[in-house]
């Protein structure tokens, strides 16, 4: 059901603005609306630029949180509601910038020190090799006429290198085995040939030892120096990491406060953007559900006592052209089924809420198509586990899904008893006249198809009646009388049903039978019923000035959709027959081979029915609900009711 809303107007002194906005945010029942400046001459709007600034600051804060990964156990407690104040974006921005600067500085120091430590560790390993080869760091480098360098080369690359330098007199290479696959080289050459020698060595895969510039000249002294540098850098790195940990602790102690302050300031800025102000007065408007007005009145009375009766407020009915929010409030039994309605769209406040009707029709269609008491019981149990035990996981709200499954399971149990199905085994049906194995008899199958079609006709007629009611409530009388979903559409559809029944000669129920007229129906007076509706539908576009072409299109669409929608409900019988056929298969398998019957029949087919068939039947029931039924009256053009709240 849709709760009517009233338009609230509040006028107070500008000095009370913050108190009023905080109080309304704490109450959480008013959806703010922008005011029309023409209605309140002399009042001005408040800039809403701060909203974007606070949103940007929240994004930066979340980025810092992700960078530092604070522990939730270190979060501080929120200060009380009355202790919080709106903080300017500039103040918050400076505090975030300071955290960003400190974090950036510590990360740069960590990277720099880690790089230096890696260089010293690498130099230490090279110095150990030089010590083994009795080569000092001072022996390496560029001198006045010659250069010397040391390094490692793959042993299997030596033959090619020897061949390349065989004829060269400007190069001396000293080889020393280093490992089973590598060889140490000490290379000496003239400075004039350094470039060509470097290219030659690089092509051979020579890995030159490069030492830090401050490395001492003697290898033993250099090794001691490397050890001291490693210790110093490790201590320095530990100190920097401790500083960063301290910074993380400082951030953890402030992040909750900062986020709370930003959220609080953001909500206040949002509310201020809906105000009109002068030097003395502040005016605010919003939407309030009628069922919350009594509590809101008491709230304003208490607030007026605090502020010396300086707040004036009033309620009025919204004008027809105003866009008002939709407040859905269905009985607790049907509240979970509001999900079905919202998936299709929010109802307009001036149209009917289809939640209760949709819940009944969807569960009934599911039960007819999936009629099995045992499997329905399993669905109920699974639904109860999801709704009351699991509740939510991986961001999915299983509570609502579980409640929907409970309703579907109960429907399957009821129709399972009527049809005589229990885990795909035949029991005695409770429906009068039915016997176990009823699906084997053609008369029962035809009867079920007819019931499904009649059920569909009733749904379509109900949908058209709701459409007529909605149009009349909205003052759209022409649409209500001559529209394809109005009285003209209803007459056309009922006329098509009557003509189709007479063409086939169908008995609706005992005592009511249509004669079988075949093409003779075209000469019957009943043909005038759909023709009258067609003429009315064609007349509407002519009256509204849309032209006869639009009328022809509307008639064609009405004729096709009427027949297609009516016959589409035959799928209810089809899935019900298919499910009953599984029970026949199980019975035949058990009779011919009990082992195969239990394994392939009772186990596999029941698992199949509770997985794939369950999903298919749910989807088909939704398809009939959304397309064949809801399209007759439901536009889904409403906007949800979102009350203004300040986090407390």
Question: What are the boundaries of each domain within the chain?
Answer: 1-46+275-329+640-648, 47-113+227-272, 115-226, 355-632
Q: In terms of Cα–Cα distance, which of 644, 648, 647 is closest to 284? A: 644
Burial 332-361 (b: 16+ CB within 10 A, else e): eebebbbebbbebebbbbbbbbbbbbbbeb
The answer to which of 47-56, 396-405, 434-443, 466-475 has the lowest mean pLDDT is: 47-56
Q: How confident is the model at residue 41 (pLDDT cuts 50, 70, 90)?
A: low
Range with top average pLDDT, 299-313, 456-470, 625-639: 456-470
State yes or no: pLDDT of 82 exceeds 70.
no
Q: What is residue 47's predicted lDDT score, i.e. its pLDDT?
A: 62
Q: How confident is the model at residue 61 (pLDDT cuts 50, 70, 90)?
A: confident
Q: In terms of Cα–Cα distance, which of 641, 631, 349 is closest to 485? A: 631
Range with top average pLDDT, 362-366, 474-478, 496-500: 362-366
Q: What is residue 83's predicted lDDT score, i.e. its pLDDT?
A: 53
Q: What is residue 144's predicted lDDT score, i.e. its pLDDT?
A: 86
Q: What is residue 124's predicted lDDT score, i.e. its pLDDT?
A: 92
Q: How many CB atoms lie within 10 A of CB 593?
A: 13
Alpha carbons 108 and 606: distance in angstroms, whole number: 63
Under DSSP, the state recorded for 625 is I
Give residue for tokens 């709370």: 260
Higher pLDDT, 485 or 48: 485
The answer to which of 22-31, 504-513, 622-631 has the lowest mean pLDDT is: 504-513
State yes or no: pLDDT of 69 exceeds 80.
no
Average pLDDT over residues 460-470: 93
Q: How confident is the model at residue 59 (pLDDT cuts 50, 70, 90)?
A: confident
- 493, burial (CB in 10 Å: exposed 0-12, middle 13-18, buried 19+): buried
Any idea what the Cα angle at residue 237 is, between residues 234 and 243, rounded to 5°?
A: 145
Alpha carbons 407 and 329: distance in angstroms, whole number: 19
Provide the token pair at 597. Answer: 């019957």
Does domain 115-226 fall under CATH 3.30.70.2750? My reply is: yes
Range with top average pLDDT, 46-55, 248-257, 365-374, 382-391: 365-374
Same CATH fold assignment for domains 1-46+275-329+640-648 and 115-226 = yes
Tens of pLDDT, residues 544-594 = 888 778 888 888 988 898 899 999 999 999 999 998 888 888 888 887 778
φ/ψ (deg, to 5) at 411: -60, -45
Q: How confident is the model at residue 75 (pLDDT cuts 50, 70, 90)?
A: very low
Alpha carbons 524 and 302: distance in angstroms, whole number: 73
Largest Cα separation within the chain, whole Å, is: 124
Q: What is residue 151's predicted lDDT score, i.e. its pLDDT?
A: 92
Q: What is residue 510's predicted lDDT score, i.e. its pLDDT?
A: 64
Q: How confident is the model at residue 395 (pLDDT cuts 50, 70, 90)?
A: low
Residues with Cβ within 8 Å of 54's Cβ and at least 6 positions away in sequence, in order, are 89, 92, 262, 265, 266, 269
φ/ψ (deg, to 5) at 316: -150, 160
Asked whether the beta carbons of 36 and 323 are under 8 A apart, the reply is no
Q: How confident is the model at residue 361 (pLDDT cuts 50, 70, 90)?
A: very high
Higher pLDDT, 255 or 214: 214
The topology under which CATH files domain 1-46+275-329+640-648 is Alpha-Beta Plaits (3.30.70)
The answer to which of 327-341, 459-473, 514-528 has the lowest mean pLDDT is: 514-528
Q: What is residue 251's predicted lDDT score, i.e. its pLDDT?
A: 78
Q: How confident is the model at residue 73 (pLDDT cuts 50, 70, 90)?
A: very low
pTM listed for this prediction? 0.71
Q: What is residue 15's predicted lDDT score, i.e. its pLDDT?
A: 85
Q: What is residue 281's predicted lDDT score, i.e. its pLDDT?
A: 85
Q: What is residue 76's predicted lDDT score, i.e. its pLDDT?
A: 41
Q: What is residue 225's predicted lDDT score, i.e. its pLDDT?
A: 92
């Amino acid at each position: 059901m849709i709760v009517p809303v009233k338009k609230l107007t509040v006028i107070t002194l500008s000095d009370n603005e913050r108190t009023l906005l905080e109080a309304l945010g704490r109450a959480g029942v008013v959806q703010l609306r922008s005011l029309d400046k023409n209605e309140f001459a002399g009042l001005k709007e408040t800039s809403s630029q701060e909203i974007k600034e606070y949103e940007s600051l929240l994004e930066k804060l979340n980025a810092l949180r992700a960078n530092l990964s604070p522990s939730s156990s270190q979060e501080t407690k929120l200060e009380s509601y009355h202790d919080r104040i709106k903080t300017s974006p500039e103040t918050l921005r400076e505090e975030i910038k300071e955290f960003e600067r400190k974090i950036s500085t510590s990360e740069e120091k960590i990277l720099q020190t880690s790089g230096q430590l890696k260089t010293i560790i690498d130099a230490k390993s090279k110095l150990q090799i030089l010590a083994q080869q009795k080569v000092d760091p001072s022996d390496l480098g560029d001198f006045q006429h010659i250069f010397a360098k040391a390094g490692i080369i793959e042993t299997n690359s030596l033959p090619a290198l020897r061949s390349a330098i065989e004829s060269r007199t400007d190069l001396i290479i000293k080889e020393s085995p280093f490992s089973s696959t590598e060889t140490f080289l000490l290379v000496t050459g003239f400075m004039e040939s350094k470039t060509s020698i470097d290219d030659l060595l690089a092509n051979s895969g020579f890995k030159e030892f490069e030492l830090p510039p401050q490395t001492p000249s003697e290898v033993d002294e250099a090794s001691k120096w490397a050890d001291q540098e490693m210790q110093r850098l490790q201590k320095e790195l530990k100190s920097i990491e401790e500083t960063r940990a301290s910074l993380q602790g400082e951030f953890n102690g402030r992040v909750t406060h900062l986020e709370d302050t930003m959220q609080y300031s953001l909500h206040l800025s949002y509310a201020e953007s809906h105000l009109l102000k002068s030097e003395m007065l502040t005016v605010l408007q919003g939407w309030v559900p009628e069922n919350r007005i009594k509590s809101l009145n008491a709230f304003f009375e208490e607030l007026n006592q605090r502020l010396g009766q300086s707040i004036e407020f009033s309620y009025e009915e919204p004008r027809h052209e105003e866009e008002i929010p939709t407040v859905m409030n269905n009985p607790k039994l049907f509240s979970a089924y509001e999900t079905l309605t919202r998936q299709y769209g929010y109802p307009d406040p001036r149209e009917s809420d289809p939640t209760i009707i949709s819940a009944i029709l969807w569960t009934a269609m599911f039960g007819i198509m999936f009629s099995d008491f045992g499997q329905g019981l399993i669905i109920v149990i699974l639904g109860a586990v999801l709704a009351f035990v699991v509740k939510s996981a991986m961001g999915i709200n299983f509570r609502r899904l579980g409640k929907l499954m409970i309703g579907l399971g109960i429907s399957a149990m009821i129709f399972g008893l009527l049809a005589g199905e229990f885990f795909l085994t035949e029991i005695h049906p409770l429906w009068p006249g039915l016997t176990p194995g009823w699906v084997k008899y053609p008369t029962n199958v035809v009867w079920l198809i007819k019931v499904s079609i009649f059920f569909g006709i009733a749904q379509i007629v109900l949908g058209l009646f709701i459409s007529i009611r909605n149009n009349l409530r909205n003052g759209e009388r022409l649409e209500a009388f001559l529209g394809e979903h109005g009285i003209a559409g209803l007459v056309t559809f009922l006329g098509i049903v009557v003509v189709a029944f007479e063409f086939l000669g169908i008995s609706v129920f005992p005592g009511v039978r249509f004669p079988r007229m075949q093409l003779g129906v075209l000469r019957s007076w009943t043909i005038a019923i759909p023709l009258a509706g067609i003429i009315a539908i064609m007349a509407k576009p002519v009256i509204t000035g849309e032209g006869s072409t639009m009328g022809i299109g509307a008639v064609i669409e009405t004729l096709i959709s009427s027949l297609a929608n009516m016959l589409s409900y035959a799928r209810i019988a089809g899935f019900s027959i298919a499910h009953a056929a599984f029970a026949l298969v199980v019975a035949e398998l058990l009779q011919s081979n009990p082992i195969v019957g239990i394994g392939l029949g009772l186990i596999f087919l029941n698992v199949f029915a509770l997985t794939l068939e369950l999903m298919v039947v749910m989807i088909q029931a939704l398809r009939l609900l959304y397309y064949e039924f809801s399209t007759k009256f439901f536009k889904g053009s409403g906007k949800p009711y979102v009350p203004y709240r300040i986090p407390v």
